[in-house]
């Protein structure tokens, strides 16, 4: 698959994790949103075939305030990613890595996207954060993107020996049913280590339980999307 990863998190973890050092991020998501930079300037190839990234730096954290007076402030990413110049890249998937809070950047992502993929840590407060996210989703649907789907909710940091993990899973499946992916991502040290080697876990340790789980998640997502396309 040809994939573009848009780093929309001022922390820039996706950029660092894919080997784009902070001092090499000359053209970023900030430039795309605020300065209307050209796609060809902001999209860069990673070390991995068919995976490109638009990197982010901390300057993105001020975009929220700078864009407040912009009438199109919620549609900037939507418009940027739908420029005609985008067609020639022939992406199969565009993934947008969101910041941890619900702000104007997150709204831009939800307005631009076809669907939302929600990682849910198997911890006590996780489901509380989810209800706020669901409210925001509903608002974005009403105001700007009626077709926005929930791609699915993926349980992460799962520890099957831990009662709490099992309880969070049970609650999630009882309340959210089919929205919860069958695949669970186990807590796995290789997943934590991979970013410090600036590699996805699939390359860092392809046989690890974490890599296997993420590969299985990818299959599940692709399978679901074939069903969506057939409807």
Ligand X SMILES: Nc1ncnc2c1ncn2[C@@H]1O[C@H](COP(=O)(O)OP(=O)(O)OP(=O)(O)O)[C@@H](O)[C@H]1O
Q: Site map for ligand X, 20-59, x if CB under 6 A?
A: ----------------------------------------
Q: Choose between 55 and 210: whose C-beta lies nearer to ligand X.
A: 210
- Quote the least distance from Cβ 30 to ligand X, whole Å: 17
Give the whole-angstrom CA distance, residue 159 versus residue 188. Answer: 9
Q: Choose between 19 and 41: whose C-beta lies nearer to ligand X.
A: 19
* Nearest Cα to Cα of residue 209 among 221, 192, 223, 195: 192
Sign of the CA dihedral 179, 185, 187, 189? negative
Give the whole-angstrom CA distance, residue 144 versus residue 112. Answer: 9
Q: Which residue has the tokens 């692709």?
A: 222
- Quote the least distance from Cβ 144 to ligand X, whole Å: 23
Interacting residue with ligand X among 15, 156, 183, 208 (CB under 6 A) = 156
CA distances from 8 to 12, 95, 142, 190, 206 (A): 8, 10, 23, 24, 26
* Nearest Cα to Cα of residue 92 among 226, 198, 214, 184: 226
Please report, as residue ranges, which positions from 96 to 125 form the binding site for ligand X (by CB under 6 A). Answer: 100, 119, 121
Interacting residue with ligand X among 2, 13, 124, 182 (CB under 6 A) = 13
Q: Site map for ligand X, 180-219, x if CB under 6 A?
A: -----x-xx--xx-----------------x---------
Give the whole-angstrom CA distance, residue 36 versus residue 13. Answer: 23
- Quote the least distance from Cβ 64 to ligand X, whole Å: 16
Q: Choose between 141 and 187: whose C-beta lies nearer to ligand X.
A: 187
Binding interface with ligand X (CB under 6 A): 9, 11, 13, 100, 119, 121, 156-157, 185, 187-188, 191-192, 210
């Amino acid at each position: 698959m040809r994939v573009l990863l848009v780093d929309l998190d001022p922390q820039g973890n996706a950029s660092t994790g894919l080997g784009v050092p902070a001092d090499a991020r000359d053209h970023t998501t900030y430039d795309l949103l605020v300065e209307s930079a050209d796609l060809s300037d902001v999209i860069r190839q990673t070390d991995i075939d068919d995976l490109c990234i638009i990197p982010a730096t901390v300057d993105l954290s001020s975009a929220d305030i700078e864009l407040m007076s912009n009438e199109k402030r919620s549609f900037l990413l939507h418009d940027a990613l739908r420029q005609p110049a985008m067609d020639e890249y022939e992406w199969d998937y565009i993934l947008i890595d969101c910041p941890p809070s619900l702000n104007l950047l997150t709204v831009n992502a939800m307005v631009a996207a076809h669907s939302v993929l929600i990682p849910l840590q198997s911890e006590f407060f996780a489901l509380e954060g989810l209800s706020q996210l669901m409210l925001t989703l509903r608002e974005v649907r009403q105001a700007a993107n009626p077709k926005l789907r929930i791609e699915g909710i993926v349980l992460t940091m799962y520890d099957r020996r831990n009662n709490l993990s099992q309880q969070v899973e049970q609650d999630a499946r009882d309340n959210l049913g089919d929205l919860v992916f069958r695949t669970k991502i186990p807590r796995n040290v290789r997943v934590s280590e991979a970013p410090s080697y600036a590699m996805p876990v699939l390359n860092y340790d392809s046989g690890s339980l974490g890599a296997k789980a993420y590969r299985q998640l990818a299959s599940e997502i692709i399978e679901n999307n074939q069903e969506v396309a057939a409807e």
